[in-house]
Structure 1
């Protein structure tokens, strides 16, 4: 969390007549008497922040991420992506992805950021590989037993939402994560989500090899079922809708 960016965002909202009430709701000068939610503030002002003519592109991006920290609302990330992919884009890449990385490393809940990666950047084949490389793939050489906790936290979060990323773009990162037992539960979730996600992408042979090497807590659910469908050559639940149910029945038997 960037405290300076948060305070900047708070001041910017106040300049636009939006202030936070003592109970956490918001008030706006152009809606007297109304109590606004953080989501309503995000919908009303995040896009405006990204077109603020008084700031350069990096300044607008920093303001938007300050709003994200302040409001903790996924819609802010939507507006960031709209700006990057829109006619005035792309946004400056280094501050964009550094902002994602910092929030993925922070102890604070990062649900809005990971959801943004999952359903926006990773599900889009035009952006999945680059986004994955920026938030994790380029740093796999740093994944060692003495890696900082912040990097391990970022890695876990990215792995768990990486199901839609094309297999060639994530294979090396998955193999790097497999070398660290502390990351095995997150890597298992990555494989499981990669199988079940509508847009999930797995290469059965490679995924099966990774799965076989994972040291998982006793009682981890669905290990047997995932092994069965991968061993049978299935890539995705939605391409072979009966395969998982059959694996569940056999495992139960």
Structure 2
């Protein structure tokens, strides 16, 4: 059964003359032209924020459209609105919407990609975004790890590379207390090194790396330990260091 937000988004699209059919979407008046979900998102997602509703209701409608279409572009329109002349969006509705979708037992690629490239890479939003989706809850998650909370923590840790080290290090240290989060924490450390905007402090990251409980053959573990031990903070600042590490550890 569809959630209320998805049902509302479906009704709203129907009011725009767009309906789902087997294999895609069609517009009224042009039923022979099959549209993809991506095309629908690009054509209609921005219009949600022109509706005569309060800001929270418009945002919930946008999240319903995201669930219905599963397209990253919907998250782009959410970010544009937050950063636009009518923004910011209500933070409680915004981050509750992200948290719920990070916890859901369904694909969350559009949401995690949005966090990574739109909220975490932007130094004006990264601290607030990371705190809202994980930082303020990580103690509670580690103390009482339910499946939905674990899904959220794993997904955020894995895409947290661009978050400044000072912001994410406390959450990383808390996550260490729960071995179930160690693989995701390793991916977070790895992306903190490899991402273009990745951020870490080599000594601190190396200390955390040594405390992870991982299979001995974990891919890239030895190379990451090597570059961090040599004091390298980011792959793109010293691009030859990783090749040297891989060769030395092979």
TM bracket, shorter-chain basis: over 0.9
Runs of 4+ in 1 over 6 A off after TM superposition: none
Across the two proteins, how many residue pairs are aligned to each other?
A: 250
Aligned-partner Cα distance in 2 for 1:146–1:49: 37
Long gaps (5+) in structure 2:
none
Q: Post-superposition shift, 1:33?
A: 2.5
Matched residue, 2:5:
5
Matched, 1:19 2:22: no
**What are the residue-to-residue correspondences of 1:1-253 with 2, within 5 Å?**
3-21=3-21, 23-29=22-28, 31-53=30-52, 55-144=53-142, 146-252=144-250
Q: Post-superposition shift, 1:51?
A: 1.7
The alpha-carbon distance between structure 1 residues 194 and 2, as it changes in their structure 2 partners (threshold 3 A), is: farther
Aligned-partner Cα distance in 1 for 2:49–2:139: 34
**SS of residue paired to 2:44:** helix
Aligned-partner Cα distance in 2 for 1:116–1:216: 28
Long gaps (5+) in structure 1:
none
Q: String of CA shifts for 1:190-212, please: whole Å, max 9, x gaps.
A: 00011000000011111000000
Q: Post-superposition shift, 1:140?
A: 1.8
Which deviates further from its counterpart, 234-243 or 23-32?
Answer: 23-32
CA RMSD of aligned residues (A): 1.3
Aligned-partner Cα distance in 2 for 1:225–1:93: 40
Aligned-partner Cα distance in 2 for 1:85–1:211: 36
Which deviates further from its counterpart, 89-98 or 25-34?
Answer: 25-34
